[in-house]
Amino acid sequence: MAKPPLDTTPPNALDNVRVVLVNSAHPGNIGGAARALKNMGLSQLYLVAPREFPAANAVWRAAGAAELLDRAVVVDTLEEAVADCGLVVATSARERRIPWPLLTPRQCGERAVAEASSHPVALVFGREDRGLTNEELQACNFHVHIPANPEYSSLNLATAVQVLAYEVRMAALEADRGEPLSYADWDRPPAKASDMELYFAHLQQALGELGFIDPDNPRQTMTRLRRLFSRVRPDDMELGILRGMLTAIQNHIHRSGGKGRPD
Ligand SMILES: C[S@@+](CC[C@H](N)C(=O)[O-])C[C@H]1O[C@@H](n2cnc3c(N)ncnc32)[C@H](O)[C@@H]1O
């Protein structure tokens, strides 16, 4: 009897890493991404407002991975897709004006696997024609750029998914061999993406009341603060402390009947 192919899948290591496709235009790419995921032992596919889905072309391109399409989670916004995630990594084919903390694809795979044992991890991919918006990128902890030919660096969407899914699998196989990853365990889980969004809204409101920013026109200040906190990645308890501090500042402002900074 023929031996079954060697199963090198690390148990459970990959179930907590999801791939999020934002506003994909071509169902063939969704199918291609599903196939890439299944080839690499990943299974969680999230679709943010796909232009055409379900679609026969997606099933055709998915080939033997069509069940991932049946189980795909379809949501309206990126915020919903990553709400419960402790680590959110955006992929981008080009550099942005305000650079964000950057990971190589290899570091991304290692970090995703190291963190997936304690909380859901999201890898976010953009639209075929214009990638992710700056706002979407700024909702993520890290950016990953696949160092392709600088003269032609934009990969097909499903191909980009394949590259990162491969790195996640390689990191999972390394971890399974017991080779230590360079991330120390933390005593608390990192704050969830949805809690970070509530924090940023609270911060903007408090800084507005303080007179530090114009609430209607915060310019780059909020973006830079977002980047700062994305870099720090507070845990859930630290975020609670930060929100408590904001509330105390707001109470103080309200008690003194006005803005913090004299006009
Ligand atoms: C065809 S690309 C979008 C290209 C788009 N014109 C742009 O400038 O962002 C579709 C998606 O694939 C991923 N991608 C393509 N090339 C990439 C690269 N070199 N590094 C990281 N992600 C890449 C990103 O998620 C990107 O949003």
Condensed to tens digits (0 to 9), the pLDDT of residues 39-53 reads: 999 999 999 999 999
Q: Is 153 in the pocket of ligand 1 (CB under 6 A)?
A: yes
User: What residue's CA is closest to ligand 1, atom 1?
Assistant: 128
pLDDT at site 6 = 52
Neighbours of 88 (CB within 10 A): 24
Give residue 240's pLDDT band: very low, low, confident or very high (50, 70, 90).
very high
Task: Tokens for 263, please give them.
Answer: 């006009």
| Strand (E) or helix (H) holding 60 | helix 56-62
Task: Tokens for 112, please give them.
Answer: 């995703």
132 Cα nearest atom in ligand 1? 27
Average pLDDT over residues 247-255: 93
pLDDT at site 95 = 76
**Of 97 and 88, more confident:** 88
User: What residue's CA is closest to ligand 1, atom 17?
Assistant: 93
Task: Tokens for 191, please give them.
Answer: 């704050």
Q: Which of 154, 157, 162 to mutate to test the pocket of ligand 1 (most atoms within 8 A of CB)?
A: 154
How many Å apart are CA 165 and CA 133, to the nearest integer? Answer: 22
pLDDT at site 99 = 87
Tell me: pLDDT of 10 over 50.
no
Neighbours of 186 (CB within 10 A): 11
Tell me: pLDDT of 258 over 50.
yes
Q: What are the distances in angstroms from CA 244 to CA 18, 72, 140, 146? A: 32, 37, 23, 39
Residue 156 and residue 29 in contact, taking contact as beta carbons nearer than 8 Å = yes
Q: Is 125 in the pocket of ligand 1 (CB under 6 A)?
A: yes
Give residue 11's pLDDT band: very low, low, confident or very high (50, 70, 90).
very low
Q: Ligand 1 mean position to 47 CA, how many Å?
A: 16
pLDDT at site 175 = 87
pLDDT, one tens digit per residue, over 134-190 is: 999 999 999 999 999 999 999 999 999 999 999 999 999 998 887 555 445 678 888
What is the residue type of 242?
Answer: L
pLDDT at site 263 = 46
- What is the average pLDDT score of the chain? 90
How many Å apart are CA 51 and CA 57, to the nearest integer? Answer: 13
124 Cα nearest atom in ligand 1? 25
Contacts of residue 74, Cβ cutoff 8 Å, sequence gap at least 6: 46, 47, 49, 50, 53
How many Å apart are CA 211 and CA 250, to the nearest integer? Answer: 11
Q: Is 131 in the pocket of ligand 1 (CB under 6 A)?
A: yes
Q: What are the distances in angstroms from CA 51 to CA 54, 55, 67? A: 10, 10, 20
Tell me: pLDDT of 58 over 80.
yes
Residue 45 and residue 21 in contact, taking contact as beta carbons nearer than 8 Å = yes
Give residue 64's pLDDT band: very low, low, confident or very high (50, 70, 90).
very high
pLDDT, one tens digit per residue, over 191-214 is: 999 999 999 999 999 999 999 998
Q: Nearest 5°: phi and psi at 144?
A: -125, 135
